[in-house]
Structure 1
Amino acid sequence: MAAKGFFISKAVGVVGIILGAGAVATIIVLSVAYSQEKSKNVEVNPTTTTTTGVPVTTPALNEPWHQYRLPDSILPDSYEVTLWPRLTENSVGLYIFTGDSEVTFRCVKETDLILIHSNKLNLTVNGNSKLATLTAEDGSMPPAITDTWLEVRTQYLVVKLNGNLKVGQRYVLRTDFTGELADDLGGFYRSVYMEDGVEKVVATTQMQPTDARKAFPCFDEPAMKAIFNITLIHPRGTVGLSNGMDIETVNVTIDKMEVTRTKFAPTPKMSTYLLAFIVSDYDYIQAMEGDVSIRIFARRKAIAAGQGEYALNVTGPILKFFETYYNATYPLKKSDQIALPDFNAGAMENWGLITYRETALLYDPDVSSNGNKERIATIIAHELAHMWFGNLVTLKWWNDLWLNEGFASYVEYLGADYAEPAWGVKDLIVLGDVHRVFAVDALASSHPLSSKEEEIQRPEQISELFDAISYSKGASVLRMLSNFLSEDVFVIGLSTYLNQFAFSNTVYTDLWNHLQAAAEKTGTKLPATVHDIMNRWVLQMGFPVVSIDTATGTVTQQHFLLDPDSVVDRPSEFNYTWYVPITWQKNSVKGADFWLLEKSDLNNDLKTTSADQWVLANLNVAGYYRVKYDDANYARLQNQLTMAHELIPVINRAQLIDDAFNLARAKLVPTTLPLEMTKYLNNEREYMPWESALDNLDFFYLMFDRTEIYGLLQTYIMKQVEPLFNHYKDITADWTKVPERHTDQYNQVNALRMACSTGIEACTDLVTKWYGSWMNNTQNNPIHPNLRSVVYCSAIAAGGVKEWDHGWKMFKEATIAIEQDKLRAALACASQPWLLNRYLEYTLKPDMIQYLEYTLKPDMIRKQDATSTIVYIANNVVGQPLAWDFMRANWVYIFNEYGGGSFSFSNLINGVTKRFSTEFELKQLQQFKQDYADVGFGSGTLAVEQSIERTQANIKWVAENKVIVETWLKSAISP
């Protein structure tokens, strides 16, 4: 397979020979027609030609239409939009939609220019070459349109006038348009599924961040809020949905076609990125929460099977929780939630019509694990949190995205905890967000939470912000803020903020103002203002490591870098110091909280006075920082872990492990320190410490699973995990019962996964027996849903082509997306390279040049799942080099097919390269960056830099630690 360009598979060649030249000619005709029609409907003219076809000289790139931000001369008030998606192919094999839009806007500054976003739309107005018409709302004569064109690079419809618009006057701009209802997962797009052997098409949307302009011309910036009046024309028998309630549904005949026209209630004043409109053959279930209608929409068979019941049951309580939490009534009459077969994100908070992947909304107790259930509850809570924070009050520009997504990522745990109080889910933010983002934010290539507005202009720059920093660091620092203010004070400030700015836009400092006012009102004492404290966490990247010397009581802070030799070239006005809230205890006695405000301070309370007295800081990991101790305190803590680990809180046991491993990578403590800390794990039964240890030991596997140290590592982990494996065997009555506690169910999976992967025969025998029973009777799967992911993976890894083919068959036949996801991940666990190579080929949809094969073998893996499947394969040591070669060879295709704005590009690049630890791999990575510089990396641009930095750090780490780790492991596993 060539690195660039097209390829024709062997299957295409063979079938082509059989069917002969006639078929090939047909393919060529279709391909040409496809290209022509796509060009006609989607592509737009460059600015070097006016709409009348007269060539013009391209001016310097300093005109308003060359800028990515809209001018501030006009503001939209309302839209009237009618859309008609076609759910069947036209004569040349395209799905299209048609529509018209009238936007009423106010002139606030004199201007003779209208700029409105439009991307991949073919615009006409009754054959008018001007692309748009303009009228004045009061009936007067507006300035005449002198020229219109589509500016491709900045995605504008440009309308030039022969005079100025009048300040204070309202005008109406009308456009008619045609667009492709493509399968690109952005804007107005199509999703396809099979039901009862019939292919069905859903017309659906994903506007965030900059794709509303692909559905209709609009002022597509978050501050350009307006009221939207949406009308959908759709096939009879289908259901039309939008943000508002449907207020009129009538059957009509248009162009001799019998269709239904559904008109929706006007939306509140809102941003374009929150718009949604969907046409489907779905069914729904419904409940009321007070005066609010809650509906869950999904495929008819999914609804009939009861897969929407759990989402329906938790949505009402979570919605009511947030009304109380925000002290603000939910502002809409309905909360629709819909599960889509094809959806690039996990979910999207469209106001009143939230869209989800099927795996994020549908629950079936026969196939869904407790992890699936938790994910559904937390994602629903995340999206419902946005109904106020993000939708009602919206950040002015995308540079403050972190506050929107970080806030929802924090309070999703609160909402889920309210719905499922027995789970103890609030603690899991430490593993899911705090520890997760520490790994990224400890790199010199990290970035601050808040960017400067002028630094975020282009759509791909905006998409790049949807990363772990915005979500997980945002959640972590807001949790810290809530903790040191107290939650009561936090929600007072939040409530006044939401009520003051309802239906308008803010910047993040507006929230600081309200939290400061709440602190002052309640008499909460702080060492500085909320602004001064939080700006250090928001405006500079990274986080501190706080060092505590228990012999002297000295406390210091420094910028924590995973690679201490890396160069930080991003300046900070705060010199990488933070205002750090320190919580601590001495043995079981909690000490008084204090603030570290400088590089160094002294706190005599932290001195230890006896040989068995230890200090533990950052209780419950409420603060966004790591902690390092003196050697003597580490020895006392390790002794406590060995003798009676329960005296140290569970979260802090996880923290001690995670901090120690990362401090060692940063050369602040010896590499043997965290390894010594893992020795107590043979007595540990709690999930959080085990998960923390396994997450960190995964780095050792990545660095050493291609070396002779792998065998030693396996032997040591086996020794530590065997007691845990036997523990779960005992408490589940030989694997026949489900552990009662939520986190015990998670740790049972860890026990099985590590026991099987380290070669404990009893585990391998168990999973192969279960999988074999299922192969012999596919109608009766004996594997509990909680255990399916690990059992499928372990059995396929231990097996061969027979086990893989069974997994693939079950994947293709599965009607529930959650089950498909488990099998899709497990298929990447195969040990045979040829199976993994074949699986990689399944991830990419055949090109039109492979049209013949495509008609015989449709998409193997859905587009939304392609990049994550490649990463799954790369996680397998056998598959990693295959995935790397595959990604490089197909980068042009992947980039063009998925678009430069795909959120998954950073995950793909990081996932495929995370094992890199040799000079050869570094050179390959640098060559990859050079080879495709002209193509680009879109939202993965920063990920390329981070991968290079990580690889360089890995190379040094292996060189410095290989012998140390080998020596320690030999000692630890000796009798």
Structure 2
Amino acid sequence: MFQKNQELIIDYFRTGRVNGDVMTQAHEPLNVMDSTTDYSTKTARGVHLSKPLAFIILVIFGLTLVTASLLVYNYAACPRTDQLANVTKYEICHCDQSKLSVIPLKTERPKIEPIETTTEPPKEIVLSPSDLRLPENVKPERYYLKITPYLIEGNFTFDGEVSVVLTVLNETDQVVFHGVELTLHDVKLYGREDGRPVVITRRTEEPLRHFHIVSLGQPLDTGKQYVLNISYTGILNDNLHGFYRSSYEEKGVKRWIAVTQFQAMDARRAFPCWDEPALKARFTISIARPSNMTSLSNMDIIRKEPHKTLPNYTWDHYSESLPMSTYLVAFTVTDFQNMTDRNFSVWARKEALPSAAFALEIGPKILRFLEDYYKIKFPLPKIDMIALPDFKNGAMENWGLLTFREIAMLYENGVSATMDKVHVATVVAHEIAHQWFGNLVTPSWWRDLWLNEGFATYVEYVAVDAVEKSWNITEICILDQVHNVFQLDALNSSHQLSVDVTASEETDAIFDKISYGKGSALLRMLNHILTDEVFNAGVTDYLNAKMYGNAEQRDLWSALTTAARKKGDFDADVAVVMDSWTLQTGFPVLTVSRDYKTGSISLSQERFVLINETTQKSPVWWIPVSYTTASEKDFHSTQPRLWLKGEKAIVSNITAKKEDWFIANIQQTGFYRVNYDQRNWELLIKILKDPKRFQDIHIINRAQMVDDAMNLALTGRLDYKTALDVTSYLAHERSYVPWKAGLSALGYIDTMLSKGANYLEYGRYVLRLLSGAVDEVGWEVTANESVITAQYRVDLLASACHFEHPDCMENAVRMYANWMLAPNPDAYNEIPVEVRGIAYCVGVRAGGAREWQFAWSRLRAAAPAERHRLLSVLGCTRAPHLLHRYLELALRNDSGIRKQDVVRVFSAVAGTAIGQPIAFNFIRANWQRLRSFVGSISTLNLIVKVVTRRLNQRHEYEELKRFVTESCSDLGRPVQQVLESISANVQWRERNYQTIVDWLLTAEKIAEAS
């Protein structure tokens, strides 16, 4: 599942139940089992018999039943082939029982006692609320699923029938499975070989863990197979999880669609199942859909037929899938159209379909590259990619049916910016990479989620770089997957990469930068340690060994160790090295101290944290150390020359001259920061400030030094004078990656000073750094500009306008005003696409209600990329009443703001010093309303994070802590991370505010004098 600048996602909002009796009216009769069991609790009335007579009659009845069963068993006809294909009614037969999938409807069953259905767990079972795992007594082998959604106003529901072939692993008298927000109408269990019914004595539900428990009158035999038949109804919810409804408008007509999103634990909202990643099974899916619509699922359609009881409905029957986890099952019912390139298809709304052309162009290229990269052919007959109007995640890797938010799949020339194209390419690559890592080989449990997401994130850059070499996207990878992740992993409340999860909220919380970004960064580090050849060979061996099964990280380490030892270049156990990175929280800072007389170097390590809790013992890592010197200038040899092998410190001789600078961690391939002694920092600053020689240092290492220095100063490990001296070299830097690192690092100071009296001095300092680069890059966008240049211009101009650079403001305001004056602004917009976001924001910020209302009126009719921009710029206004209005509109179903975009609205409002307190006060005053509307723990966590990130005074921290305690302590680890971040802000302000102000005043005097 793809995630960029948002945490991805499990919803736990509980919608209302639907009365199952109402739901079955006018629907196709269930064809999986009879409903003959009496659930009534009334006392029976009628003829009363004496006990002896009743006993004689009972014996005669039993003998008759046994005789009849034997006759049926020996002489009944075999099921016809067409019946097998249709998954319809069967009679017990003396044929190949291995083909029997769904048990007969008309098997005679002995009358059993009434079954009590309760929501209370049986007394004989002790259920721990913290334990999510199902009992390991049975394993699903095959699911036969039939589902019928009803896209009707006032009746957004679905009917379902599922037959599950189970293998008994341990003798048990219970069958336990998952189901939530489902009304089960009929539950039957049969022996697969003989078709005999198994008596069900009790059905119970344990809502906390979404368990349904079926208690049996006799134990199931180890090694035998049984078939569980269930008919049920469910809700097509509007919370973007499970099987949910979505809508869009076309020519003023509202159209409804039904789609799925199951990761991590929401397949259970669509059908009763064993909803754990290790419990793989084969799925045969049939979907009933309105005849004027289309369905899609993981596999290819093998047959269509008219619905027997629902007019204007058609059954689509799909071929059996390969073994896969429940979270990868997917199906959609839409009226979308498609474009196809052999086995690759893209689907979208009719009006949006032309914008899917780029995805169709790059998708097959990436697929072919990854088949070669993994040396394993894609095993399914087709891939469908579908762009959805409402989708909570960026995208989802369902096997053979990739689902996307529209902005992540659609690229429209003249509307989408260059970086939008990059975004589409990386998301497509990420999801296709998952077809091997995650789908073909799946983690045994969510603790190793990073094996999915870390690998897909790493490979997305490898794949896009392979098919679009001119983009130089591997440089951007450092910013996204190293620098960006350091911020979260520097918290004490961060988590291990491979982390146990024992509650739903904990599973939700690990879909974060650690699993995605840190996982990717560590794989990149390991690749540089082992070399491409060894790393890729080990990965391929791992995939082949675990194909169609499950794995843990130790399986990957074993394959890589074997591959490395075959080559002979690396004799350590990969597990020993990498476990120090995946089983420990955080990352190290490597401190380099040089003896300039002897040439020796001392290396020491400690954990890098924002708030140092001295009572905690600092962990140690196996740190690969690559380095170069002024004399060598070798920035291409990234394999380690030294190791800290789980040691606190080592001393080694080096050949650097005392006047040479020394740089460790070449191209920042290692996931750690580097600090130097003061003299080495001075040597580095000297070379950086030399306009003719600073490019002797690799572009990534220039970015690394800026990012490391500013963050070392942030935590008190380096004085701010030295760190800010490093940033001052940016005045003559003309490359994107160092500038982006500099703007990000300086952005923290911007946030901390934005409410202070000396913010003007800070703004003037940044403008002095920017002026040369801004003048050079300008506003004029040339044809066929590189990706790096396009993003470089956007970031520079955005920063310049943020600090009210005169030319920047003039250009932006003029462009926005001209757009407003256009006769048809929805059709005519001469602002270059690349800089529209900047011009829009400045126009709204400099204007008033008219300018804001103009942007708002453009929102509803905008294409996905334009809509994405407008959602952000509407928060640029300085008018408090408009910001309040925008937040109110975000919580209204009729406003045109989709639920998937609520976080973007809050982030936009809270992104300024004016809007932040408005947004924070709004969520406190409307918390219960917000919770009810959003319906998602992960979304609530994101909102809390974005509206509080600018807090930095002690009274603000106390207000936040009180709010968390009183209203949202149940949000888990993410909200604790928010508290820790704000506590760090408070400490920083108290420790560094005056130091920064003094440095800025001195720098301004020097600038004026020169």
* TM-score, length of structure 2 as denominator length: 0.86
Distance of 2:593 and 2:865 partners within structure 1: 49
Q: Within the alignment, does 1:118 sit opposite 2:174 as a pair?
A: no
> Which residue, 954, 958, 962 being the options, matches 1:923?
958
Unaligned runs of at least 5 residues, structure 1: 1-33, 43-48, 126-131, 847-857
Note the 1:371-386 alignment, pairs <5 A.
371-386=419-434
- Report SS of the residue matched to 2:198: coil
Q: Within the alignment, does 1:104 sit opposite 2:189 as a pair?
A: no
Report the counterpart of residue 917 of structure 2 in structure 1.
Answer: 881
Q: Within the alignment, does 1:727 sit opposite 2:776 as a pair?
A: yes
The aligned amino acid for 1:334 is: K
Distance of 2:280 and 2:607 partners within structure 1: 41
Report the counterpart of residue 950 of structure 1 in structure 2.
Answer: 981
The aligned amino acid for 1:298 is: A
- Report SS of the residue matched to 2:654: helix
- What is the number of equivalent residue pairs in this alignment? 889
Q: Within the alignment, does 1:81 sit opposite 2:145 as a pair?
A: yes
Report the counterpart of residue 763 of structure 1 in structure 2.
Answer: 808
Distance of 2:803 and 2:558 partners within structure 1: 54
> Which residue, 454, 457, 467 being the options, matches 1:409?
457
In structure 2, relative to structure 1, the CA distance for the partners of 1:900 and 1:768 (3 Å cut) is: closer
Distance of 2:436 and 2:234 partners within structure 1: 32
Query: Structure 1 residue 560: deviation in Å?
Result: 3.3
Report the counterpart of residue 959 of structure 1 in structure 2.
Answer: 990
Distance of 1:54 and 1:676 partners within structure 2: 69
Q: Within the alignment, does 1:340 sit opposite 2:401 as a pair?
A: no
- Report SS of the residue matched to 1:627: strand
Distance of 1:926 and 1:738 partners within structure 2: 51
Q: Within the alignment, does 1:328 sit opposite 2:392 as a pair?
A: no
Query: Structure 1 residue 950: deviation in Å?
Result: 1.6
Report the counterpart of residue 585 of structure 1 in structure 2.
Answer: 628
> What are the Cα deviations for residues 284-326 of structure 1, in whole angstroms up to 9, with x where unaligned?
00002xxxx00000001111xx201100111111001111111
The aligned amino acid for 2:965 is: Q
Report the counterpart of residue 23 of structure 1 in structure 2.
Answer: none
Note the 1:196-595 alignment, pairs <5 A.
196-255=251-310, 257-288=311-342, 293-303=343-353, 306-452=354-500, 456-526=501-571, 528-550=572-594, 551=596, 553-566=600-613, 576-587=619-630, 588-590=632-634, 593-595=641-643
Q: Within the alignment, does 1:773 sit opposite 2:832 as a pair?
A: no
Report the counterpart of residue 785 of structure 2 in structure 1.
Answer: 740
Distance of 1:263 and 1:58 partners within structure 2: 39
> Which residue, 681, 684, 689 being the options, matches 1:634?
681
Query: Structure 1 residue 892: deviation in Å?
Result: 2.3
Query: Structure 1 residue 736: deviation in Å?
Result: 4.9
Query: Structure 1 residue 439: deviation in Å?
Result: 0.8
| 2:161–2:229 contact (8 Å) kept in structure 1 | yes
- Report SS of the residue matched to 1:300: coil
Query: Structure 1 residue 54: deviation in Å?
Result: 8.0
> What are the Cα deviations for residues 498-541 of structure 1, in whole angstroms up to 9, with x where unaligned?
11111001111000000000001111224x31011001001101
In structure 2, relative to structure 1, the CA distance for the partners of 1:562 and 1:64 (3 Å cut) is: closer
> Which residue, 828, 834, 858 being the options, matches 1:810?
858
| 2:781–2:832 contact (8 Å) kept in structure 1 | no
Report the counterpart of residue 675 of structure 1 in structure 2.
Answer: 724
Distance of 1:603 and 1:956 partners within structure 2: 37
| 1:148–1:160 contact (8 Å) kept in structure 2 | yes
In structure 2, relative to structure 1, the CA distance for the partners of 1:447 and 1:559 (3 Å cut) is: farther
- Report SS of the residue matched to 1:192: strand
Distance of 1:674 and 1:418 partners within structure 2: 36
In angstroms, what is the RMSD of aligned CA positions?
2.0
Unaligned runs of at least 5 residues, structure 2: 1-14, 24-40, 42-113
The aligned amino acid for 1:75 is: K
The aligned amino acid for 1:523 is: G
| 2:707–2:745 contact (8 Å) kept in structure 1 | yes
Query: Structure 1 residue 750: deviation in Å?
Result: 1.6
Distance of 2:814 and 2:766 partners within structure 1: 24
> Which residue, 136, 139, 145 being the options, matches 2:194?
139
- Report SS of the residue matched to 1:194: strand
Distance of 1:99 and 1:54 partners within structure 2: 22
Q: Within the alignment, does 1:665 sit opposite 2:710 as a pair?
A: no
Q: Within the alignment, does 1:605 sit opposite 2:654 as a pair?
A: yes
The aligned amino acid for 2:568 is: G
In structure 2, relative to structure 1, the CA distance for the partners of 1:196 and 1:267 (3 Å cut) is: same
Query: Structure 1 residue 58: deviation in Å?
Result: 6.7
> What are the Cα deviations for residues 357-399 of structure 1, in whole angstroms up to 9, with x where unaligned?
0000000011111111111111111111110111000010001
Q: Within the alignment, does 1:179 sit opposite 2:229 as a pair?
A: no
Query: Structure 1 residue 606: deviation in Å?
Result: 5.7
| 2:492–2:611 contact (8 Å) kept in structure 1 | no
Query: Structure 1 residue 700: deviation in Å?
Result: 0.7
- Report SS of the residue matched to 1:87: strand
Report the counterpart of residue 828 of structure 1 in structure 2.
Answer: 875
Report the counterpart of residue 7 of structure 1 in structure 2.
Answer: none
- Report SS of the residue matched to 2:209: coil
Query: Structure 1 residue 57: deviation in Å?
Result: 8.9
> What are the Cα deviations for residues 802-831 of structure 1, in whole angstroms up to 9, with x where unaligned?
1111111111121x1111011101111111
Distance of 2:230 and 2:916 partners within structure 1: 50
Report the counterpart of residue 68 of structure 2 in structure 1.
Answer: none
> What are the Cα deviations for residues 613-644 of structure 1, in whole angstroms up to 9, with x where unaligned?
21111111100000111111111111111112
Query: Structure 1 residue 433: deviation in Å?
Result: 1.1
In structure 2, relative to structure 1, the CA distance for the partners of 1:860 and 1:652 (3 Å cut) is: same
| 1:65–1:158 contact (8 Å) kept in structure 2 | no
Q: Within the alignment, does 1:973 sit opposite 2:1009 as a pair?
A: no
In structure 2, relative to structure 1, the CA distance for the partners of 1:57 and 1:699 (3 Å cut) is: closer
> Which residue, 740, 753, 764 being the options, matches 1:691?
740
| 1:65–1:115 contact (8 Å) kept in structure 2 | no
Query: Structure 1 residue 35: deviation in Å?
Result: 6.5
The aligned amino acid for 2:573 is: T
Report the counterpart of residue 761 of structure 2 in structure 1.
Answer: 712
| 1:83–1:100 contact (8 Å) kept in structure 2 | yes
Q: Within the alignment, does 1:890 sit opposite 2:919 as a pair?
A: no
Runs of 4+ in 1 over 6 A off after TM superposition: 38-42, 53-58
Distance of 1:264 and 1:817 partners within structure 2: 32
The aligned amino acid for 2:716 is: K
| 2:117–2:202 contact (8 Å) kept in structure 1 | no
Distance of 2:397 and 2:18 partners within structure 1: 34
In structure 2, relative to structure 1, the CA distance for the partners of 1:151 and 1:684 (3 Å cut) is: same
In structure 2, relative to structure 1, the CA distance for the partners of 1:67 and 1:143 (3 Å cut) is: farther
The aligned amino acid for 2:381 is: K
Report the counterpart of residue 862 of structure 1 in structure 2.
Answer: 898
The aligned amino acid for 2:622 is: Y
In structure 2, relative to structure 1, the CA distance for the partners of 1:583 and 1:41 (3 Å cut) is: farther
Query: Structure 1 residue 153: deviation in Å?
Result: 1.1
In structure 2, relative to structure 1, the CA distance for the partners of 1:417 and 1:932 (3 Å cut) is: same
Distance of 1:894 and 1:653 partners within structure 2: 44
- Report SS of the residue matched to 2:229: strand
Distance of 2:481 and 2:835 partners within structure 1: 24
Query: Structure 1 residue 671: deviation in Å?
Result: 1.2
In structure 2, relative to structure 1, the CA distance for the partners of 1:790 and 1:606 (3 Å cut) is: farther
The aligned amino acid for 1:827 is: L
Distance of 2:575 and 2:121 partners within structure 1: 50
Of structures 1 and 2, the larger Rg is shown by 2
